[in-house]
Amino acid sequence: MSSDCIFCSIVAGTIPAKRVYEDQLCLCFADANPQAPTHLLIVPKAHIASLAHAEEAHAPLLGHLMAKAAELARGAGLEHGYRVVINTGPDGGQTVDHLHLHLLGGRHMGWPPG
Ligand code: 5GP
Ligand code: ZN
């Protein structure tokens, strides 16, 4: 846990969030500034700063996060599709330095992303 990390504080419960799902490895909560009718964030409970810090040893955790994204999308009724995004680093538009998957759905997504 990183003491000055917003998402570590949400995991610890010291910053409130609309918690949707959690298990030993991850927490899912609603994005505070939703960009789609469904906009969930899925974060590992362990602090990993970004996907750029991922290593082969993280593969089971990363797979778990992806599988949970699919499960949560099914639970949210996103049968017409959705988008999973991992913004990484300054050029990737990452603003919170704790690895997170955005699960966005409920509207048509454009391509390419901005
Ligand atoms: P990034 O830009 O790093 O890919 O995504 C960070 C996301 O975290 C943004 O979509 C932003 O709205 C969300 N966010 C930032 N601070 C908070 C917070 O305190 N609570 C919640 N629920 N979401 C947050
Ligand atoms: Zn953190």
What the block records as the tokens of 14 is 């010291």
Whether residue 100 lies in the annotated active site: yes
What the block records as the tokens of 72 is 């949560």
Taking only the tens place, the pLDDT of each residue in 9-31 is 999 999 999 999 999 999 999 99
Q: Is the dihedral of CA 49, 7, 39, 66 positive or negative?
A: positive
Taking only the tens place, the pLDDT of each residue in 87-97 is 999 999 999 99
Q: Is the pLDDT of residue 79 over 80?
A: yes
Q: Which residues surround the ion ligand 2 when the cut-off is CB under 5 Å? A: 2, 5, 7-8, 47, 98
Query: Which ligand is nearest to the Cα of residue 94, counting in written order?
Result: 1
